[in-house]
Structure 1
Amino acid sequence: MDIQITQKESAGAERHVDVSIPAEAVQAAEERTARRYASQARLPGFRPGKAPAAMVRKRFAAEIRQDTVQALVQEAYTQLMAQQKLEPITQPHIHDLKFEDGAPMTFTFHFEVRPEITLEKLDGFTVEKGSGEVTEEMLQQQLDALRDQKATWAPVEEKPAPGDMVTVELATADADGTVPAGQEYRITLGDNQAIPGIEELIMEAAPGQTVERPVKWPEDFPDEAQRGQSKLTRVTVKEVKRKTTPVLDDAFAREIGDFDSVDALTAAVREDLSANATREADAEQRAKLLDAIIDANPFEVPPTWVRQLSQSYAQAYQVPEQDVDRFAQEFRPIAERQVRRDLVVDTIAKQHQLQATEADVDAEVQQMAESRGLDAGKVYATLQKSNRLSEIEHGITERKVFEWLKERNTLG
């Protein structure tokens, strides 16, 4: 088919392509579609496929027209892909479709393609690595977190203090000054679960007591309409529980795990923190190196990929629907940077044959299974079912690319 394809001036990953299909080709396609309908049509008074062609054309005019358009659009798209060797990443949209009897069919394809990236500078960069140091403060915080896991809560008959868990009945006055029946809340004081004024009011009452006075809402309260307002607030304290954390001693170490002493526990925690700090320092160094490469080799990124990444993070963070647009706008620079990094890694991997192989993935899964004392086949099946094998494959590829880059750059 003599289809005329003209690519319009495009920017970045977007493509706009004008298509014109000659009138005789359009007519021939419409005839083929009409014959197919005539051979299958079931009309009252006629055996299947025996109805007069004119009657079939009249009865199924809209369907024949729609099928003809779809067939010609698909044929034009196939020819476009073959001619220009494009790698589309979105389904094409059709704009400005014109389909009139006796005239060429014209329309415009609009889609995004995978950008062709030229990475001219991949070496000569110097990137320092973070120390990955584990401070005494970090160690103590982790040990305190372990103690918190074994903490117990017991009721007390005293006024609550910061850190206590309280069950309260809370109510604020309506616009006419009437204080309605309260609602019950469970709050840990000092965890920013309530505004400071309400926490202060709660700490004025022991279990069974009720206190009531105006409370001023903070100037940075999320609801602008309530900022700085004073509201009559009533609080009834129903229960106060106080946390008791175990002493960090040898007995605690034995309870936590297979540790003979608190020194052994402390050494294990320090080792875990050090390993994690090293991983984070390595990840930060990789990110800095990729950022340096991106800055030295600018390129456009597909807007669709940026939107999709923003949407996936919005879902992961459970962003409320009314805040999704604002989140996407604020998150866009981060999403765009991540898409650039992924494209750089993928481009280097393809150009230098560094992609993860099936054998690489199998070895990684085997190692995961052995470290957990599990069967490798079952681990592989679980990862496959949860669609996580691609994550492992990407991680292996990224490590290979980074090792390749380490040989060509100075990493302190």
Structure 2
Amino acid sequence: MSATLHHNSPTRKAVEVTVPAAEVSATFNDVVAKIAPKVRIPGFRPGKAPRPVLMQKYAREIQSDVAQQLVEKHFWKAAQEAGALPISHPSLEKLDLKEGADAVFRAQFDVAPEVTLPDYKTMALTKKKRAIDEATVQEHLEGLRQRATKFLPVEDGAVATGLIATCDIRVKPQGLKAQTYQDQVLEIDATRPFDAELVGMKVDEKKTFTLTHPDDDANKVLAGKSLAYDVQVKDLRTKEVPELNDEFAKDMGAFENLEALKAAVRKDLEEAAERDAVARLHATMLDTLLDAAPFEVPRSMVGLQLDDYCQEFAQHVSRQGMDPKKVNWQAYRQYRLSDAERAVRSGYLLQAIGNAESIEVPEADIDAEIRQFMAENQVQQPFDAFKAELEKRGNATEIKGRLRTDRIFDHLLTTAKVAEELLDKAAFEALVELERKREAGIPVNRFDAGGLEGGDLEGQEGGEPAIVAPATEHVHGPDCDHGHDHEAEEKPVKKVAKKAAPKDVPEAEEKPAKKAAKAKEPEAEEKPKTKKPAAKK
């Protein structure tokens, strides 16, 4: 056997392999010998058909089996002997195969990128953090108070402003078909014409009346038309909003008084602001490093990342009661393509930094994380048995990857120059709005190119999410040693700034602007969700 390596790109290689004629003929003989007893040919007993007849009748199947055996036998060894370490299945692009002659096949495959690390020890970053002032605390307390509102039945009362009425409504617009709406909940405001007609009605009472919409009504279909209503009041309640006092604080938990509740609210808000600021800081750090270290990523790894996104999104739309088959998966994959590329690049970059800094995770830290999870979720199983179960599913190595990523980020922050900027409510909301616009693909500067409208994504049909099945898989060949982790890593989530979604892609569940940009190290196996980017050695 001889092999020649061809460099198609930094991460895409091809190996051309020549297999001696003697081995080709022997493989043909083995394949024919195995197929002969299994086939039925008229005029011949099972296993007794002449070889020429088998070769003629089953030429395609025999040729395919021979090719598969030769490629499986020689590809991995040939690629490694030629100086390449594949991280994907081979893609056969050339095959010269004939019994009695040398066979030549050429197969393409992906390799891990070579990452040249930027100067990651001199970064200058700004940590943007929401300032928690008294007004913020009061706003949150008011939210707690409103959420504690009780809706009490009104006994023998009548509809009046401020009450909550539940009604069945049948409406017949002039010249249009009637529509019926069940259990409509209204907070009565007698200044509205419809609500004014309900004032004075009691529970179970019915009323018929007609209203005419003004000519300048925003609804052009109903402008100037009369609508006939049949309304039945089914329930009537009053809102009871608790006062913000010591009794309210005690009802909210183990708080002695209102001041204790305020202190707890402030502490929670400050911790949340810190988490949010750190998440943004990590995202900025990754963006800075990625901009300083451009490198190509293997397309097979990007495909696997897109598969992860599709799996997650299919589960999300199913939970929302939608049919995943109706999602335009081709458009969704295109929509998430840049996210997938960034996630893969981030994973390789974090991996390289962790290796350069010899960052490891002690087994004791992994055990502590597992014990904490067991305590929080009241797992009654013995620790050793539970840990063994996690290791079997790949979750333990995922935890290790997440903890290693935490350490990498912590290390980067120790060497970076970080200035903290406190944002008041207006400035913080402006930041969130800027992130929202970038996420939606809305131009925020004069020369921004936002959105995807008018492109190739429009007019595509939805269909089966067949692509959710694994794409070109990362595989581990014999004696695989390519510096790529063989352990399950976490899934990344969307980065802070995203481009616009195609019109036929439902809105995703998470809001990336509120999350840290996550990254995973290159990995192929199915991985459970986690909270942090994973980077492993």
TM-score scaled by structure 2? 0.59
Assess if the C-alpha contact under 8 Å between 1:170 and 1:185 holds in 2. no
**What CA distance in whole angstroms lies between the structure 2 residues aligned with 1:21 and 1:170?**
80
Correspondence for 1:109: 107
Cα displacement string for residues 307-346 of structure 1 (whole angstroms, at most 9, x for unaligned residues): 2354255336428643555554444444443333333222
* Aligned residue pair count: 389
User: What does residue 355 of structure 2 align with?
Assistant: 350
In structure 2, the CA distance between the partners of 1:396 and 1:67, relative to structure 1 (3 Å rule), is same
Match of 1:73 in 2: 71
Task: Give the gaps of 5 or more residues in structure 2.
Answer: 420-537
- The 2-side partners of 1:102 and 1:386 are apart by 47
> Where in structure 2 are the equivalents of 1:1-400 lying within 5 Å?
1-2=1-2, 4-10=3-9, 13=11, 15=12, 17=14, 19=16, 21=18, 24=21, 25-38=23-36, 52-58=50-56, 60-83=58-81, 84-88=83-87, 90-95=88-93, 99=97, 108-154=106-152, 157-158=158-159, 166-169=166-169, 177-184=175-182, 186=184, 203=195, 205-206=197-198, 208-209=206-207, 213=212, 229-230=221-222, 236=231, 238-239=233-234, 241-301=237-297, 302=299, 303-312=302-311, 314-315=313-314, 317-318=316-317, 321-322=326-327, 324-369=329-374, 377=383, 380=387, 388-400=395-407
AA in 2 matched with 1:350: N
The structural deviation recorded for 1:8 is 4.8
Distance in 2, Cα, partners of 1:147 & 1:70:
69
Q: Which amino acid aligns with 1:66?
A: S
Residues in 2 aligned to 1:172 and 1:23: alpha-carbon distance in whole angstroms = 85
Residue 182 of structure 1 aligns with an amino acid whose one-letter code is T
Deviations 1:59-118 (A, max 9, x none): 644432221121123234323442333242x44433465656677655553444432211
C-alpha RMSD of the superposition: 4.2
The match for 1:196 is: none
Equivalent residue, structure 2, for 1:407: 414
Matched residues in 2 for 1:294 and 1:237: separation?
A: 62
For the Cα contact (< 8 Å) 1:121–1:297, is it kept in 2? no
The residue aligned with 2:524 is none
Contact 2:170 2:178 survives alignment (8 Å): no
Letter in 2 for 1:251: E
Distance change in 2, residues 1:204/1:77 (3 Å) = farther
More helix by share: 1
Counterpart CA distance in 2 for 1:169 and 1:121 is 67
Distance (whole Å) between structure 2 residues aligned to residue 71 and residue 215 of structure 1: 79
Distance 2:352 2:376 in 1: 32
Q: Provide Cα deviations, 1:231-287, integer angstroms capped at 9, x if missing partner.
A: 866664644555433222222222221112122122112112222222222222222
CA apart distance, 1:125: 0.9
Greater CA deviation, 273-282 or 388-397? 388-397
Partner AA of 1:259 in structure 2: F
Query: Is 2:7–2:13's contact at 8 Å kept on the other side of the alignment?
Result: yes
* 94-103 vs 209-218, greater mean Cα deviation: 209-218
**One-letter identity of the residue aligned with 2:307:** Q
CA apart distance, 1:393: 2.4
Q: Secondary structure at the match of 1:246?
A: coil
Greater shift, 204-213 or 143-152, is seen at: 204-213
Q: Distance in 1 between matches of 2:31 and 2:197?
A: 83
Amino acid in structure 2 at the alignment position of 1:178: L
2:482 match = none
Q: TM-score, normalised by structure 1?
A: 0.75
Partner of 1:182, secondary structure, is strand
Displacement of 1:45 after TM fit?
9.1
Secondary structure of the structure 2 residue equivalent to 1:7: strand
